[in-house]
Amino acid sequence: MHILDVLQETYSALSANKVRTGLTMLGIVIGIGSVIAMVSIGQGAQSSIQSSIQSIGSNLLIIMPGAQRGSGAQISTGRGGAITLLQSDADAINKEVSGISHVAAELSSRYQVTAKGQGTNTNTTVTGTTASYTSVRNLEIESGNFITDQNVKSLSKVAVLGPSTRDDLFGEGVDPVGKIIRIKSIEFKVVGVTKAKGGSGFSNQDDIIFIPLSSAQKYLTGSDYLSTISVQAESEDIMTVVQEDITALLLKRHKISDSASADFNIMNQSDILSTASTVTTTLTYLLAAIAGISLLVGGIGIMNMMLTTVTERTREIGLRKAIGAKRKDISLQFIIESIVLTFTGGAIGILLGCGISYAVNLLGIIQTTISVPSILLAFGVSTIIGIVFGYYPARRAASLNPIQALRYE
Amino acid sequence: MIEVKNITKIYKTGDTELRAVDDVSFRIEDGEFVAIMGPSGSGKSTLMHILGALDTPTSGKYFLDNKDVSEFSDDELADIRKTKIGFVFQSFNLLPRTTVLRNVVLPLVYSGIPKKEREEKAKEALIAAGLDEGHFLHLSNQLSGGQIQRVAIARALVNNPTIILADEPTGNLDTKTGEIVLATFQKLNKEQCRTIILITHEKEVAEHAERIIFIRDGKIVSDDKKHNRRIIDQESLACKELFKK
């Protein structure tokens, strides 16, 4: 029997009961659709978390004061108890550790800030830092300039605003360069605005004010400790080595012999990335597994319908056998019917899944990505479901005795 | 040519044994029109199933065109049904919601004959069975009982089989329509020299054949040539003469 003839038989059989065919197919449509949508949402979450981690900089090691307790990353960053990092530490790292492209020392704290002559105020993070911060943290300037080495040397009272802070103090779209803000009643002149980066997993990089590190130490805190040293390694491969070198150097400088009682903590960006991607991968698997269960239920629906069909069409099967259909002709017909059901259902399901993923994208909930392998997999899975769940009904049809089949009422 | 030698079919249900067909032997030559007649429960249906290669006998031999079919497997039997036998049943002859043409084409589909050729053959068979060309594309459920049986006859003819087996073909028809169907069989027998085996429990139907095998309780009671048979369509018996030579 030619395959085109089988397909013609299949078409007339399936179109004979459109409602039932449609409802059965719906099980597969929903199953495949949810697999595609879930996987795309999971992958979207993964890439959005990754890009958000990468937005804070690349190949970054962040050194923070505080004790490392146990083996986990339980960090105490309370400034009062952990004044351990100094500018000299940052300078030493820059000088003595190889494989480093930039080091930026930072001193952050929250203050109430007012804009002179505007009557507006906001509570935001004020970060004292150096010129290299822009390279380390991938920061770009929208207007004006960032803090220069000269500013740091001369303790200039200048400030660079994050875009959110600019909006809070001066309003959206206003260029605040040249205007005056007051931090702790000390006047700073705005010299630049950074470009928006979006929120990262750690802090809002847009709601921030940058001032020269030396000015922050002198005018705001009155001491020369640091809250963070950001180190950018030359490449991802050497990050572990650089981390170890920095640890050794700081332990030596702080005169600590046991690394377990270190008074600082180093966060490695690639560790964070890999932890985050492990979490999101697990999440994706979980979502796919839930969707897979609905696919299984859909498959059982197909089998149920095929068994009903075989019973209903017992006399037809008898007639076909009487006029010369062999076992394999009959079983092929029912298998193909089941495959056509699941394949069509799968195709519609893929469209549905892509539609859902597109809608999620459009609503801005998450940036989803549909991968070609997941579509191919869905097609493969739906065909296999057709074969697996069509096999038993088809075998039952093929093994019917033509005499009994013809007599069946 | 059909030759049946000492055929027995036994059905077992639990401890009881039913001899549906009991040591039956006969021969049917090509071009004969034979009626197998008997009351219900006589074993004629079982005999029909064996003759139609739907079933195999418990013991005995069945030669169809000198081939021993009695111990064939399922698929081999399917091949025999496909090439040598055409069936006309009492009811449920046609696939529902399928065109007349498609129904007649179906045996050729299973034989793997190309599309164009099989449609030509199907049309020839439909015309031979006496169906109007206007009905060819009608759906099977739009036809009358007589038309359905004609389509069934056409389908039985389409593979050019050795025998046409008709199992109570007039059972669901009124007398007048039944006569028309029987006339079609007579015509095919006469003009195309088709071997026709008619299974029936009605004497009047059986009398349309030229030979009647009467069975009761699985045994042949009588096997006679019918001399004053009912011939509906008085036309030449030319091909009969051809076979006798």
**pLDDT tens digits along B229-241:** 766 654 444 444 4
User: Nearest-CA distance from A23 to chain B in Å?
Assistant: 21
Confidence of residue A403 (pLDDT cuts 50, 70, 90): confident
Q: Given an 8 Å threshold on Cβ–Cβ distance, is A406 in contact with B89?
A: yes
Per residue in B52-104, pLDDT (tens digit) is 999 889 999 999 988 898 888 888 999 999 989 999 988 878 888 889 999 99
Q: Which residue of A has its CA nearest to B48?
A: A403
Contact (CB, 8 A) for B198 and B189: no
User: Nearest-CA distance from B165 to chain A in Å?
Assistant: 11
CA–CA distance, B58 with B19 (Å, rounded to integer): 10
Task: Inform me whether the pLDDT recorded for B213 exceeds 90.
Answer: yes
User: Nearest-CA distance from A402 to chain B in Å?
Assistant: 7
- pLDDT given at position A82: 52
- pLDDT given at position A67: 55
Considering chain A, what is the average pLDDT of its residues? Answer: 85
Task: Inform me whether the pLDDT recorded for A391 exceeds 60.
Answer: yes
Q: Select the more confidently predicted residue: B13 or A394.
A: A394
* B74 and chain A in contact, CB less than 8 A: yes
- pLDDT given at position A119: 82
Q: Select the more confidently predicted residue: A258 or A40.
A: A40
Which of B49, B92, B109 lies at the smallest CB-CB distance from A5? Answer: B109
Task: Inform me whether the pLDDT recorded for B132 exceeds 90.
Answer: no
Task: Inform me whether the pLDDT recorded for B196 exceeds 90.
Answer: yes
Span B143-153, average pLDDT: 89
Task: Inform me whether the pLDDT recorded for A199 exceeds 80.
Answer: no
Span A88-109, average pLDDT: 88
DSSP-assigned letters across all residues of chain B: -EEEEEEEEEEEETTEEEEEEEEEEEEE-TT-EEEEE--TTSSHHHHHHHHTTSS--SEEEEEETTEE-TT--HHHHHHHHHHHEEEE-SS--S-TTSBHHHHHHHHHHHHT--HHHHHHHHHHHHHHTT--GGGTTSBGGGS-HHHHHHHHHHHHHTT--SEEEEESTTTTS-HHHHHHHHHHHHHHHHHS--EEEEEES-HHHHTTSSEEEEEETTEEEEEEE-SS---SS----HHHHHHH-
Which of B52, B98, B110 lies at the smallest CB-CB distance from A325? Answer: B110
User: Nearest-CA distance from A288 to chain B in Å?
Assistant: 41
Which of A67-71, A99-103, B98-102, B225-229 bottoms out in mean pLDDT, i.e. has the lowest?
Answer: A67-71
* B72 and chain A in contact, CB less than 8 A: no
- pLDDT given at position A202: 54
- pLDDT given at position B112: 85
Q: Given an 8 Å threshold on Cβ–Cβ distance, is B110 in contact with A2?
A: no
Q: Which residue of A has its CA nearest to B75?
A: A326
Q: Which of B133, B196, B18, B114 is closest to A5 using CA atoms? A: B114
- pLDDT given at position A70: 43
Q: Given an 8 Å threshold on Cβ–Cβ distance, is B92 in contact with A315?
A: yes
Task: Inform me whether the pLDDT recorded for A204 exceeds 80.
Answer: no
Which strand ranges, in their side-by-side order, compose the sheet holding B85-88? B85-88, B163-167, B195-200, B33-37, B211-216, B219-225
The percentage of chain B sitting over the pLDDT mark of 90, rounded to a whole number, equals: 33
Which of B49, B82, B92 lies at the smallest CB-CB distance from A324? Answer: B82
Confidence of residue A78 (pLDDT cuts 50, 70, 90): very low
Span A49-54, average pLDDT: 80
Task: Inform me whether the pLDDT recorded for B212 exceeds 90.
Answer: yes
Q: Which residues of B touch A323 (CB under 8 A)?
A: 81-82, 87, 106-107, 110, 155
Task: Inform me whether the pLDDT recorded for A75 exceeds 70.
Answer: no
Span A121-149, average pLDDT: 88
Q: Which residues of A touch B87 (CB under 8 A)?
A: 322-323
Contact (CB, 8 A) for A189 and A117: no
Q: Given an 8 Å threshold on Cβ–Cβ distance, is B81 in contact with A323?
A: yes
pTM exceeds 0.80 for this model: no
- pLDDT given at position A381: 85
Q: Which residues of B touch A333 (CB under 8 A)?
A: none
Amino acid at A229: I
Task: Identify from A10, A323, A408 which residue to disrupt to test chain B contact, counting B C-beta atoms within 10 A and taking the largest count.
Answer: A323
- pLDDT given at position A160: 94
* B141 and chain A in contact, CB less than 8 A: no
Q: How far is CA B132 from CA A392, B97, B101, B138, B143, in A?
A: 42, 19, 12, 11, 12
Residue contacts between A and B (CB atoms, under 8 Å): 61
User: Nearest-CA distance from A13 to chain B in Å?
Assistant: 9
Which of A2, A319, A324 lies at the smallest CB-CB distance from B78? Answer: A324
- pLDDT given at position A79: 43
Per residue in A305-325, pLDDT (tens digit) is 899 999 988 988 999 999 889
Q: Which residues of B touch A322 (CB under 8 A)?
A: 52, 54, 81, 87, 89
Per residue in A333-363, pLDDT (tens digit) is 999 999 999 999 999 999 999 999 999 888 8
User: Nearest-CA distance from B89 to chain A in Å?
Assistant: 9
Q: Within 10 A of A187 (CB to CB), how many other CB atoms are there?
A: 11
Q: Residue A169 in 3-state DSSP?
A: helix
Q: Given an 8 Å threshold on Cβ–Cβ distance, is A324 in contact with B74?
A: no
Q: Which residues of A touch B88 (CB under 8 A)?
A: none
Contacts 24+ apart (CB under 8 A), B233-236: B233/B183, B233/B186, B233/B187, B233/B190, B235/B187, B235/B190, B235/B191, B236/B190
Maximum Cα–Cα distance across chain A: 105
Q: Given an 8 Å threshold on Cβ–Cβ distance, is B159 in contact with A12?
A: no
Per residue in A368-388, pLDDT (tens digit) is 888 888 888 888 888 888 898
Q: Which residue of B has its CA nearest to A408?
A: B92
